[in-house]
Amino acid sequence: MQYAPEDYTRHYIVTALFKLMNEYQFEKISVKDIAEKAGVGRATFYRYFKSKEEVIAYYFEHNTREFVFSQRIYPRCREDHILIVSHVLKTFQAHKEPFKLLKRAHLTDLYLDFLNKKFAETFERDYTDKSEYLPYLYAGMLYNVSMKWLEEDCSGDPAALAALIVDVIFNAK
């Protein structure tokens, strides 16, 4: 995947925020602190982001684009769904440190908001005949399972957890 120069700047800003969150409370971190740590000016920060929370939202968006770009399966059966959910969980597992920081800062609601938005967009586009509540049910399930898994330091087999999630979904239909 090819990156534009502005993507690198955004990456530096995201990285700076998470490094600072490792050292300080989120509320105590200023845009000036983030810009300095990222090696950019405040004006550059504001060119790309309106707030610290928007930096986190970009982090979710960027990782979702990476995930979608690497996704090669269109699910047709239970096993395909398990592969996709396993990939989601492995991606979450690989990025557990930033999620731990978000949890410590009481910002995991940003993750739930992001999941709600993405699932709703997907259902509006691809599953127009389904209940309007279904995307929020899926988002809530993924959010709660991933937060519980994070409490356990993402230990355990992602494929087994994926099978559990998929079985709940398939049995609920």
* From-to residues of CATH 1.10.357.10 in the chain: 1-70
Average pLDDT over residues 120-125: 90
**Closest Cα to residue 18, out of 34, 1, 36, 5?**
34
Domain 1-70, CATH homologous superfamily name and number:
Tetracycline Repressor, domain 2 (1.10.357.10)
Q: What whole-number percentage of the chain has pLDDT above 90?
A: 73
**Closest Cα to residue 97, out of 9, 31, 18?**
18
Count other Cβ atoms within 10 Å, centred on residue 155. 7
* 74-117 residue pLDDT tens: 778 889 889 989 989 999 999 999 999 999 999 999 999 999 99
Residue 2 — very low, low, confident or very high, per pLDDT cuts 50/70/90?
A: low
Q: Output the pTM of the full model.
A: 0.88
For residue 6, pLDDT over 90 is answered with: no
Q: Are 1 and 69 in contact (CB under 8 A)?
A: yes
Per-residue tokens: 35:
């810009």
* 140-159 residue pLDDT tens: 999 999 999 999 999 999 99
For residue 1, pLDDT over 90 is answered with: no
For residue 128, pLDDT over 60 is answered with: yes
What contacts 106, CB < 8 A, 6 or more positions away? none
Q: Are 63 and 144 in contact (CB under 8 A)?
A: no
Q: What percent helix, strand, coil does the chain show, rounded to 5?
A: 75, 0, 25
pLDDT, residue 71, reads 64
Q: What is the C-alpha separation between 101 and 163, in angstroms, rounded?
A: 28
Q: Which amino acid is at 106?
A: H
| Summary count for the chain: helices (H), strands (E) | 9, 0
CA angle (123 as vertex; 117, 128 as ends), nearest 5: 140
pLDDT, residue 155, reads 95
Q: SS3 of 76, please?
A: coil
CA distances 56 to 11, 13, 43, 114, 155, Å, are 11, 10, 18, 10, 24
pLDDT, residue 105, reads 97
pLDDT, residue 70, reads 62
For residue 173, pLDDT over 60 is answered with: no
Residue with the bigger pLDDT between 5 and 123: it is: 123
pLDDT, residue 64, reads 85
Q: SS3 of 42, please?
A: helix
